[in-house]
Structure 1
Amino acid sequence: MSNYVIGLDIGTSTTRSVIFNRNGVVISESEHAYSTYRPKPNYSEQNPLEIESAARLAISTSISKLKITPNDIIGLTISAPMHSLICINDQNEPISPLITWADGRSYPQAAIMKESYGQDLYEQTGTPIHPMSPFVKLIWMKENQYPPYYEATRFVSIKEYILYKWCGTWEVDYSIASATGLFNIYTLHWDVEALAIAGINESQLSKVVPCTTQVGPLTTRVAKELLLHTSTPIIIGASGGVLANIGVGATEEGETALSIGSSGAIRRFTTQKTIDAEQRTFQYAFTKESRIVGGATNNGTILMQWLARQFSSLTKKETMEVADLEALAATSSAGANGLFFLPHMNGERAPKWNAKAKGGWMGLTLSHTSADMIRSVMESVIFNMYEIHETLHEKENPTKKLIVSGSYALSPLWVQMTADIFRKTVILTDSTHATAWGAAWLGMFALGEVESLEAIKAYIPIKHEVLPTVRNVVMYEEYYHLYRELYNKNKPLFAEIDRLQY
C-alpha cells in the first residue's frame, strides 16, 4: 500500500511541495521562489515559465530527500492562487507575462463596469468587480489594444498552464474558474454575458471540471523529471483559499478560517446562494453543492515588513526583524493610546474593493511612541479582517468556531488582538502547512482513500485556544467604530491623492 501523498502549494511568491503520511505528518518538503516584476506603476507580473520550473523542482526535491519510489506515492493534488491570467498562442505557449491578482492597471475599467453591468455580473459570478479579476483584466486588454490579447487563442491561469505542460490537457476546477469573474455560479458554466463583454468566447477557455477530477497521465518526460510514474494520480484540486479552509478543518457551516500572511483572507463554506448586495464579499463555487464565501485583504504582514525596512533605515541597523517590532508593540497598551492607522497601503479588496484606498496614521501626537505606531498598524489589520467578518454575519450563520493560520498566527500579540476584536475564542492548529494538507486530503478523498472532507478534523492537532480579554473587548468595540468612520470620511480624498502619485 502506498503511504505518502503530495500537496503542491503554488503561491504568489513561492511554490512548496509537501509530502505527508496518511495521518498528516510532514515527511518532506521543498520550497522554491520566483520574482514578481513591476515594470510600471500598478503592474504586477510574473514569468509562468519560472513558476512551472519551480513547481517541478519543488516536487522532485521533496521526493529525492526521502529516497522513496513512485510506488510509495498515493497521488499529488494542486493548490494554486486565484485571479492569475496568461495569454496563450496557437502553439500553446505563453505570449504574455502572468498578470497577478495584485495588478491594478485595469482600475478605470473596473470603475466603469461597476457602475454599469457590474451588479448583474456580480450576482451571476459571485466575483466582485475589481482589477484583480481576469474578467476586468481582459476588458483592459481589449480597450488598450494589448497585442497578446489579439494574438491569443486561449486565456488561462497558472494552474491550467502547468497542467497542460505536464499532462497535455486544458482543464480548470470550479474554484479557479469561479474566481475569474467569467463563470456562472448557478449554472456552473462559463457566463455568456461576461464572455461577450470581455470579447472572448468559450473555446478560448479550459474545460471546467470538479475539484476531485483526476487529470493526466503525466507525460513520460515530465514524470521522469518529477520522479513519479506516468500513472501517478494527479488531482486537479482547487484554489489556495478553499484548501486552506479544509487544511485547518473549517469545513462546515459556521466554521470560519482566518489566515494572514503578506495578504489575508477570511472564509467559510456555505450551501446558501445569497449574494451580498453591496459586493463586499466573494462567493466562489467549490462543488455542485457548496461554495466558499468570504473576503480577502491586500494588507497583512506586508505592512510589518514595510515597517521593518523603515525602522532598519532609521536606526542604522542592518536588519530589523518583524519579531523585534512585535516585541516593541507589546510595550504599548491595547488601543495604542488612541492612535489609529488606515492599513490600505496596497489599495484594498474586501470589504471596500477600492484599489485607490490609501494608508496612514490618524490621531498622531507628540506624545505617541514608536511602540504605539507599530501597535496601531497591527490592530488596523485585525479591524479590517473583522469588518469582512461582519459582512458575512449579515448573510450567513454566526461564527461558532474561529480558526486562525498563516505567518501572523506565530505572533501571540496579534492572535490576542484577534480574540479581543472578534470577541471570540481563537483556535490555533499545530500545522504550518494548512493549504498543502488540505490539498493532500482532497486528493485522498478523490481517490477513495478517506471517507469525507470533514474527516480531516481528526488529523489536525490543536495547538491551543486563546480567550478574549474582557477589558479589551469593550474598548476595541468603540475603537472599531471610529476606525470605520475614519475610512468613510477620508474616502473622497483617496482618488485625488492617487492622481498625484501616479
Structure 2
Amino acid sequence: MQYLIGVDLGTTATKAVLFKVNGEIVANSSQAYDLHRDLSGMAEESYQDIFDAVLVTIREVSINLNETDELLAVSFSSQMHSLIALTEEWCELTEVITWADTRAVKYTEELKASGKGFEIYQRTGTPIHPMAPLSKLLWLKNEKADIYAQAKHYLDIKGYIFGRLFDVNKMDLSIATGTGLFNIFNLDWDEEALELTGLKKAQLPQVVEPYEIEQGMKHEFAMKMGIPVDTKFVWGAADGPLSNLGVNAIKPGVAAITIGTSGAIRVVTDQPKTDSKARTFTYALDKEHWVVGGPVNSGGDVYRWVRDSLFDGKLSFDEITELAQKAGAGANGLLFHPYLGGERAPIWDANARGSFFGLNYSHKREHMARSVLEGVMFNLYMVALSLIEVTGELNQIQATGGFTSSELWIQILSDIFEQPINVPESREAGCLAAVVMAEKALGIVDSLSVIDDKVGSSHSYQPDGQNFDNYRELTPIFIRLARTMNQEYTNISNFQRWLEETK
C-alpha cells in the first residue's frame, strides 16, 4: 500500500494525518503547545515545542505503516506570518513571533500614515498590520536593536523546521506572499519593503515552489519520526490557501470559511487581486491559484474566553452552546464585537477591543454567550462584503475548522449570510490539501482538481428565514459601530498599555 502524511503546523497544535492515496484517513495525531501572550501584545510560541510536535505527530501516525508499505511523501500546511530571527551561525535569537503578536502596532500606524504602507500593500497583497513580518521587522529594528543587529537570517516556522531537518534556507511561495516583503507581481522580494526594514535579500530565504521536494534528512530525526532517511518532504503551502483547496473551494465564486483559533473567508482567483481600500489580502496557493480574502483574529479563541471568563471554566463548550441556543436569534438585542486581541479584516486595527453593546436588565449569560457566537459571524460577514467588491458575488460557501462541530454556530452563519453552508465530510482539510499538493509534486496527478474525488460528500445547512429579520436589523448596527470606534479603540488600548507599563 502507498501512503502520504499531511502535517499542519497550527497556532495551538501541530497535527499529522496518514492518508491512503485515495484520500482515506488511516490515522491522525495532534500535539498541543502554548501560545504565550501578555498585555504588551506579545504572542509567541516555542520553536522547540513546535519542532518536537512535528517529530512526535509524524512518529505517532507512521507506526501504522508496516515494512511492505510505501510512504510516498510528507507534505506541509503552515500558519502564516510567523518570524524567527537567527544569527549568522543559525542560533535562534527569538522564539516564534506569531501572526497574533501586536507589539508592532505603533510602527504599523506610522507606516499607514506615511502613505508608503498603501503602496507596499498594492505590490505585496499583504495588508499593513502588526501580523505581517514587515511590521514585526520594523518593531525589532526600533525596539530590539540588539537582536536586530545580531540577526543575519529570518525564517518562518516551516522554513525553520525544514532548515533543521535538511540544512536548507528556503521559504515556499505561499508563505512568502504573506510576509508583506514579497512582490506578488514580479515574484521577488520587494525592494522598497527591504529598504524600509533595512534588510538585504541575503538575510531572507530562497523562495521556492510549493511543489519543491527535499530528501536526505538528518538520520537522528528520521529515527525519531520512524520513517526512512530518504523520505520525500514536500514544502506545501500556507494554511489559509490550503484550506480552500482542502474543502474544494478553488472554483470562481466558491468561498471557504474557516474558523479555528482565528478565522478567515477566502476565494480563489487565477491572478493576484488587491483591494483599492486595502481590506483584503492576496496570497498564493501556487503560481496559478491566488487566494483573495480576509482573516479575523476572532474565532475559537473568543469562545474559549467565554468559557473561562464568563463561565469560570465550569461548563463545557457544548453546555455553553446549549445555553446560547435558548437565547434565540439576535440575543435579545445584544451585540458583541469580538476584538479581544485587536482585529485584522475588515477594520485592520490592532488597537480594536471587544465590547458588549445593548446590555440591559433582561440579559443573562445565555444572551452573552449567543451574542459572542453571533459577533464572530457578523464580523465575518463584514469581511465577505469587502471580498464581494473585489472578486464578485459568492455563489457557494464551504466551511471548515473546529466550529463545524457546532450545529448552532453553522446555523448562525447560514442565517446571517442567508445562504446554504456546505460542510465537507473531511474535516482534516489542511492536511488533505497538503497531500494533494504532494501528489502533484510527485507527478501522481497533474491537476489540483482531483480534490473533487477526495473531499467526499458535504452536509448542507439551510438558512432559517425566521431569523432573517433579526439579523437584517442588527447587521448594519454592528457594522456602523465597528467603523466609528477607531479613535476610542486607540484611546482605550493606550490606557491599557500604560496600566501594564506602570505595574
Q: TM-score range by the shorter chain?
A: over 0.9
How far does residue 493 in structure 1 lie from its aligned partner after superposition? 1.0
Superposition pairs of residues 165-314 of structure 1, within 5 angstroms: 165-313=164-312
CA contact (8 A) 1:169 1:216 kept: no
Asked if 1:92 is matched to 2:87, the reply is no
Asked if 1:115 is matched to 2:113, the reply is yes
Equivalent position SS for 2:332? helix
Superposition pairs of residues 134-145 of structure 1, within 5 angstroms: 134-145=133-144
- What does the per-residue CA deviation read over 1:9-47, in whole Å, with 9 as the maximum and x for residues that have no partner? 111111111101112221111211222223662111122
CA contact (8 A) 2:271 2:288 kept: no
Which deviates more from structure 2 when the two are superposed, residues 115-124 or residues 280-289? 280-289
Equivalent position SS for 1:135? helix
- Counterpart residue number, 2:334: 339
- What does the per-residue CA deviation read over 1:97-127, in whole Å, with 9 as the maximum and x for residues that have no partner? 1111111111000000011110100001000
- Counterpart residue number, 2:501: none
- Counterpart residue number, 1:467: 462
Q: TM-score, structure 1 length as denominator?
A: 0.96
Q: CA RMSD in A?
A: 1.5
Q: Which amino acid aligns with 1:260?
A: I
Q: Distance in 1 between the 2:128 and 2:424 partners? A: 34
Equivalent position SS for 2:446? coil
Q: Which amino acid aligns with 2:418?
A: R
Superposition pairs of residues 421-440 of structure 1, within 5 angstroms: 421-440=416-435
Q: Which amino acid aligns with 1:90?
A: E
Q: Distance in 1 between the 2:180 and 2:215 partners? A: 27
Pick aligned residue for 1:494 from 475, 485, 489 = 489
How far does residue 292 in structure 1 lie from its aligned partner after superposition? 1.0
- What does the per-residue CA deviation read over 1:453-491, in whole Å, with 9 as the maximum and x for residues that have no partner? 111112212241111112322431221111111222333
Q: Distance in 2 between the 1:461 and 1:145 partners? A: 49
CA contact (8 A) 1:247 1:456 kept: yes
- Counterpart residue number, 1:13: 12
CA contact (8 A) 2:241 2:283 kept: no
- What does the per-residue CA deviation read over 1:192-245, in whole Å, with 9 as the maximum and x for residues that have no partner? 110110111101111111111112332233222222222211110000111111
Q: How many residues align?
A: 496
Q: Distance in 2 between the 1:440 and 1:67 partners? A: 17
Equivalent position SS for 1:286? strand
Q: Distance in 2 between the 1:131 and 1:82 partners? A: 13
- What does the per-residue CA deviation read over 1:130-183, in whole Å, with 9 as the maximum and x for residues that have no partner? 111111111111112432221111011011111011111111111101111100
How far does residue 278 in structure 1 lie from its aligned partner after superposition? 1.5
Shift of the 188–210 alpha-carbon distance from structure 1 to 2, 3 Å rule, reads same
Equivalent position SS for 2:29? strand
Which deviates more from structure 2 when the two are superposed, residues 269-278 or residues 411-420? 269-278
Q: Distance in 2 between the 1:489 and 1:107 partners? A: 19
How far does residue 431 in structure 1 lie from its aligned partner after superposition? 1.7
Equivalent position SS for 1:76? strand
Equivalent position SS for 1:337? coil
Asked if 1:328 is matched to 2:326, the reply is no
Asked if 1:154 is matched to 2:156, the reply is no
Q: Which amino acid aligns with 2:52?
A: S
Q: Distance in 2 between the 1:241 and 1:195 partners? A: 25
Q: Which amino acid aligns with 1:109?
A: Y
Which deviates more from structure 2 when the two are superposed, residues 457-466 or residues 426-435? 457-466
Q: Distance in 2 between the 1:146 and 1:18 partners? A: 41
Q: TM-score, structure 2 length as denominator?
A: 0.96
Q: Distance in 1 between the 2:405 and 2:210 partners? A: 31
Q: Which amino acid aligns with 2:472?
A: E
CA contact (8 A) 2:238 2:285 kept: no
Structure 2: gaps (5+ residues): 498-503
Pick aligned residue for 1:78 from 76, 79, 85 = 76
Which deviates more from structure 2 when the two are superposed, residues 96-105 or residues 117-126? 96-105
- Counting aligned pairs with the same residue, the percent is 34
How far does residue 396 in structure 1 lie from its aligned partner after superposition? 0.5
Which deviates more from structure 2 when the two are superposed, residues 413-422 or residues 283-292? 283-292
- Counterpart residue number, 1:46: 45
How far does residue 89 in structure 1 lie from its aligned partner after superposition? 1.2
Q: Distance in 2 between the 1:63 and 1:488 partners? A: 50
Superposition pairs of residues 354-393 of structure 1, within 5 angstroms: 354-393=349-388
